[in-house]
Amino acid sequence: MEALGFDFKLIFAYFINFAILVVALRAFAYKPILNLLEERKKKIADGLDSAEKVKEQAERERAKFQTELEKARLSSQEDASKIAQATAEMREQILTEARKEAEAIKERARAEIEAERQSAQSDLRRQVADLTVALTRKVVGQSIDKKAQHDLVGKFLAEMGE
């Protein structure tokens, strides 16, 4: 034993040394570091949790927004179709009115033309009669009075007009 250097005092001294080391490391290293690791673990877990929550929230918002958008699209579509329908109706109405007006204008023009034609015809008839009277007077002289002559011409023209 002596040759190997065993010495109880030394063993005890080493023990004191080691005990101090254990206590010091426990106080300075193990406890603070393990606490820190635990804290960090908790923090990371919290962070992940909150990130998950935020993600969920965002997902929910997105879904909400999506449905809202869908709704808006639907309503706008409805509006558009309604407007299109109204437009078509209005077009139809305008067209009908226009057609009616055109018809009326045409009708009026036709009447006017007819009236014009009537007046022109009667004018022509009178002029022809006058002319004929004049001619006849020229040819026959002043023998026939105006009254007989007119009757004659009127008769003639009536025959011609047939």
CA 162 to chain CA centroid, nearest Å: 67
Smallest distance from the beta carbon of 13 to another protein, in angstroms? Answer: 6
Instruction: Kindly tell me the burial class for residue 136, based on how many C-beta atoms sit within 10 Å of its own C-beta (0-12, 13-18, 19 or more).
Output: middle
Q: Pattern 10-29, binding to another protein, x per CB under 8 A?
A: xx-xxx-xx-xxx-xxx-xx
- Residue whose token pair is 């009277």: 133
CB-CB contact of 130 with 154 (8 Å): no
Identified binder of another protein from the candidate list 9, 143, 147, 162, rule CB under 8 A = 9
CB of 36 to another protein, least distance (A): 5
Examine residue 4 and tell whether it contacts another protein (CB under 8 A): yes
67-73 contacts, C-beta under 8 A, 24 or more apart: none
Kindly tell me which of 34 and 102 has the beta carbon lying closer to another protein: 34
**Which residues make up the interface to another protein (CB under 8 A)?**
3-7, 9-11, 13-15, 17-18, 20-22, 24-26, 28-30, 32-34, 36-37, 39-40, 43
